[in-house]
Structure 1
Amino acid sequence: MTHKSVHEWGRVPVGEGGFTRAEANQLLAAARAHPCGGAEGTAILADHHKHLTARQVVGVLAGRGCSLEILPKVDPGSPGEDAVTVRRRLIGMLDIALGLDLSSGGAAQLARQGETLLDILIRLFADRLLDEVRRGLPRRYLLCEDDLPALRGRMDVVRQFTHHAVRPDRLACRFDSLESDTPLLQIMKAAVVFLGKHVRAAETRRRLTELRHLLDEVSDVPPASLPWDRVQLDRSNRRWRSLFDLAKLFLKRDWQATHHREKAGEGITLLFPMNDLFESYVASLLRRALAGTDIEVTEQGGLKYCLGEWREGEACEGHLFQTRPDILLRRGGQIVAIIDTKWKAISEPFEGKGGVSQADVYQLMAYARIYDCDHLMLLYPSVPGGAEGERKSFGMTAGMERLRVAQVDIATSREDAIQSLGGLFADMSIPTQFGTAA
């Protein structure tokens, strides 16, 4: 199987030293079939005959007999970092954005061994699930029905006098039984079976095989029929929450970019648009930074419209061109700040417009008007080793609104990033008491 790695906007040769044309066509077909592929899959991968160009989507794209790992890169023009460092950073962003509660130490060790993103996620899932299964399977009382020689539980009177009217030696019983064949474990087993078909590392394959034996008493349920809505996570099994989220990552499309195909030999496609991932990453950090305050963090909220019917002397009720700001900060239902995240680099040093696009400024001006909000921010990632925090503060013409341009360092630790974001909003003239980051 041919496997290659590339950064966002990077090129992969087709021909000598790269994929064959047949393999390239397989990858292009996978990109076209993916939900975030856009027109002809060009939002993921572009074909230039002698090379393929990756777009602003990261993860693993798989075709028959080949796969391509796309790693994040803020600035296409900057020197590329080594894959181990970038891959470890991406694992950290996924952990924070999706709440996967991954082991950072384990992920770092696997990254140093040259494992791909998909290999790392599968191995972490297998290791954590094996630890939990060895501690004991969570069990629940399930309602069972069976025909027994002695009464157990209570009798099913209707069935007894219809099916067993002439069989006094058989009793139709209904009873509760403490079983491990629960919806949660059915999903875990389905993930183990599915990943076992596509795993590449021998040690991970061995662990998945062991898991299949340990989960032998759990029913095999096809992925399309899994009982997702019947899973109950409570205090008795809450330690399984992150495993459940990882299983969804492999088996469902809950996070808008996750996708897989079940045809044998095609592998697993697991992709994340970097703009969406960065937005979720920032929102998750902000929730921790603002923990203990009266500020609520909302993603993709607002939903007000730009235009509506004009009537003289009346306030307009919009119904055309709906808006969806990336992140809203609310207090008591009132929007106190709007943040628009952008996964791209701004100029170093920041001079003039600083690489901020005119369209982005227009968008924030519209938000200020529609949501009657004075505090606005364009938030960018900083390039490795670059500046962070607020870079520039602008006022809006003929108004009191303040538009700030800021950066957050994605290469720093989670605690430092939380502190940096908390500092950005502590001096936004929004009166609040900042508690300790969770």
Structure 2
Amino acid sequence: MSAFTLREWETLPHGEGDGCIPEHFAERLAALAKKSTFVGSSGGGVLEDRRHDLRARGVVGVLATDECSLEILPKIDVEVQGGEAMQNAAIRKRLVHMLAVALDLKIETGQITELDWQRETLLEILIRIFCSKLIDAVRRGMPRRYMVQEDDLAALRGTLDLPRQFTRHAATPSRLACKFDELSEDIALNRIMKATVAHLFRMSRSPSNQQRLRELAFVYADIAEVAVSSLKWDEVVIDRTNRAWQELFGMAQLFLRSRYQTTSAGAGRGTALLFEMNTLFEEYVGRLITRALARTEYRVSLQGGRLFCLKSLDDERAVFQTKPDILIWRDGRVVHVIDTKWKRISSRIDNRKQGVAQGDVYQMMAYAQLYRAPRLTLLYPHHSGLGATELIHARHRITGHATILEIASIDVANGGNIIDRLQSLLLSSELTAELSV
């Protein structure tokens, strides 16, 4: 199967030579992309199918049809020696790390070699991690629970189901309608794992992953097969008896629930595992900031606030609700509002406004009015064009307010001591002093 890799906002030309994609492959991938919920009203949310090329947008992941696949990687500036394959490998590592943080998963990648990172797509790497974790878990034993069973037996077991006894066995009293508890592996969690294994087998194109999935399918042969749409997610209870399955349950949700789209009909037949980078960046930063302030006097809420901008004069109904990405509280009041934006801003030398969208500034001004926070931050991903220094690049005072609006960046390509770097942004003595005024 032909495989192509592209970074967001870059193009892949149509053609038959190296670095090109045949037009019939491009058409099928574009048709598959149009079935994504990220498409939007313009129909180009994942891929733009232009006259001479495909152009990726702000959605990353993998699109796969029967004959070809397209991996879209985020535009992250990584500093590695080597060619494009090495750079893509480093980006995959950072993307897996961001997913692990954002989805609160403990994903170990120690068994994946440097060569694997270079030659496998993001999808195959995630499938391999899932298979390895699941194989280790089932070796220790599948989770089991007591389930209510009903059966007609010669001797009483459990309790007698009187209504069934007097209706079904009135003429055959030698059979007893029994109701009893039995320890069973055929439970919601195992059914979800079986459905995930079956789904990934259809998605994977890696022979080694397919072999692992075949072995796991054999292990789950006695578990009932349930359609994904009918799985009982709410029946799964993670407690001390099955704590080791929490990460697997999270990964199953990643593959089977709302964070990706799957299609299997018409011109767009195929599968997709896609992530909107703006949302992923927001969740990644939000969880890191929560960790960074965990042992301080500050409290963090994500997608909180939810104050309304307007009230109707007719019926006092509130409209235009706000949902700031990150609110930082102290002593019961909001002291810092942070909004993340997965956009590449420019240095102040190139542009005094740094490429910050006017609409984003208006949004922060609304937050200043509603939440009365003395400090606002627009936080962007750092890149080499901003120089060697991440974090705060510009500070402005909102006209008519004492509120400070900062333009800042965080380097997601550098995962080392990122908690400490965020603490430096949030708790520097100069800025903390201003918050007390």
Query: Which residue pairs with 2:419 in the alignment?
Result: 418
| 8 Å CA contact 1:2, 1:19 repeated in 2 | no
Amino acid aligned to 1:321: F
Equivalences for 1:142-157 in 2 at 5 Å? 142-157=147-162
| 8 Å CA contact 1:101, 1:242 repeated in 2 | yes
2:51 is the alignment partner of 1:49: yes
| CA-to-aligned-CA distance 1:16-71 (integer Å, 9 cap, x gap) | 23333332222222222111111253111112121110011111123342221110
Q: CA deviation at 1:329?
A: 1.4
Equivalent residue for 2:107, pick from 102, 105, 112: 102
Amino acid aligned to 2:275: F
Amino acid aligned to 2:29: L
2:294 is the alignment partner of 1:288: no
**Structure 1 residues 39, 3: CA separation in 2 closer, same or farther (over 3 Å shift)?**
farther
Equivalent residue for 2:243, pick from 238, 242, 256: 238
| CA-to-aligned-CA distance 1:60-88 (integer Å, 9 cap, x gap) | 1233422211100158xxx9782111111
Amino acid aligned to 1:261: T
| 8 Å CA contact 1:189, 1:218 repeated in 2 | yes
Query: Which residue pairs with 1:435 in the alignment?
Result: none
Unaligned runs of 5+ in 1: 433-438
Query: Which residue pairs with 1:396 in the alignment?
Result: 398
2:116 is the alignment partner of 1:115: no
Equivalent residue for 1:273, pick from 258, 272, 276: 276
**SS across alignment from 1:82:** helix
Query: Which residue pairs with 1:260 in the alignment?
Result: 262
**Structure 1 residues 310, 157: CA separation in 2 closer, same or farther (over 3 Å shift)?**
closer
The TM-score normalised by the length of structure 1 is: 0.90
Amino acid aligned to 1:103: E
Amino acid aligned to 1:353: K
Query: Which residue pairs with 1:159 in the alignment?
Result: 164
**How far, CA to CA, are the matches of 2:109 and 2:335 in structure 1?**
34
| CA-to-aligned-CA distance 1:260-308 (integer Å, 9 cap, x gap) | 2355994421111111111111001011101123433222222222222
Amino acid aligned to 2:10: G
Equivalences for 1:8-407 in 2 at 5 Å? 8-17=8-17, 18-74=20-76, 82-107=87-112, 109=114, 111-253=116-258, 255=259, 258-262=260-264, 266-309=269-312, 319-331=318-330, 333-348=332-347, 352-383=352-383, 386-407=388-409
**SS across alignment from 1:195:** helix
Amino acid aligned to 1:306: C
**SS across alignment from 2:165:** helix
**How far, CA to CA, are the matches of 1:238 and 1:293 in structure 2?**
28
**How far, CA to CA, are the matches of 1:368 and 1:107 in structure 2?**
46
| 8 Å CA contact 1:32, 1:39 repeated in 2 | no
Amino acid aligned to 2:214: T
| 8 Å CA contact 1:344, 1:381 repeated in 2 | yes
Of stretches 55-64 and 125-134 in structure 1, the one that deviates more from structure 2 is 55-64
| 8 Å CA contact 1:336, 1:430 repeated in 2 | no
| CA-to-aligned-CA distance 1:402-427 (integer Å, 9 cap, x gap) | 1112111112225x111111121113
Amino acid aligned to 1:259: Q
Amino acid aligned to 1:339: I
Amino acid aligned to 1:346: I
Amino acid aligned to 1:424: L
Amino acid aligned to 1:136: G
**Structure 1 residues 74, 306: CA separation in 2 closer, same or farther (over 3 Å shift)?**
farther
**How far, CA to CA, are the matches of 1:165 and 1:430 in structure 2?**
83
**How far, CA to CA, are the matches of 2:35 and 2:407 in structure 1?**
37
**How far, CA to CA, are the matches of 1:180 and 1:115 in structure 2?**
34
| 8 Å CA contact 1:32, 1:40 repeated in 2 | no
| 8 Å CA contact 2:15, 2:21 repeated in 1 | yes
Q: CA deviation at 1:220?
A: 1.0
**SS across alignment from 1:158:** helix
**How far, CA to CA, are the matches of 2:272 and 2:234 in structure 1?**
24
Q: CA deviation at 1:349?
A: 5.8
**How far, CA to CA, are the matches of 1:215 and 1:330 in structure 2?**
47
The TM-score normalised by the length of structure 2 is: 0.90
| 8 Å CA contact 2:128, 2:209 repeated in 1 | yes
**SS across alignment from 1:345:** coil
| 8 Å CA contact 1:28, 1:41 repeated in 2 | no
**Structure 1 residues 2, 40: CA separation in 2 closer, same or farther (over 3 Å shift)?**
farther
Q: CA deviation at 1:108?
A: 6.0
| 8 Å CA contact 1:65, 1:266 repeated in 2 | no
**How far, CA to CA, are the matches of 2:115 and 2:190 in structure 1?**
26
**SS across alignment from 1:239:** helix
**Structure 1 residues 367, 74: CA separation in 2 closer, same or farther (over 3 Å shift)?**
farther
Displaced runs of 4 or more, over 6 A? none
Task: Give me the identity figure in percent.
Answer: 44
Report the count of equivalent residues. 421
Unaligned runs of 5+ in 2: 78-82
| CA-to-aligned-CA distance 1:198-226 (integer Å, 9 cap, x gap) | 21111111111111111222111111111
**SS across alignment from 2:203:** coil
**How far, CA to CA, are the matches of 2:74 and 2:42 in structure 1?**
22
| 8 Å CA contact 2:127, 2:200 repeated in 1 | yes
Of stretches 21-30 and 423-432 in structure 1, the one that deviates more from structure 2 is 423-432
**SS across alignment from 1:39:** coil
Q: CA deviation at 1:115?
A: 0.5
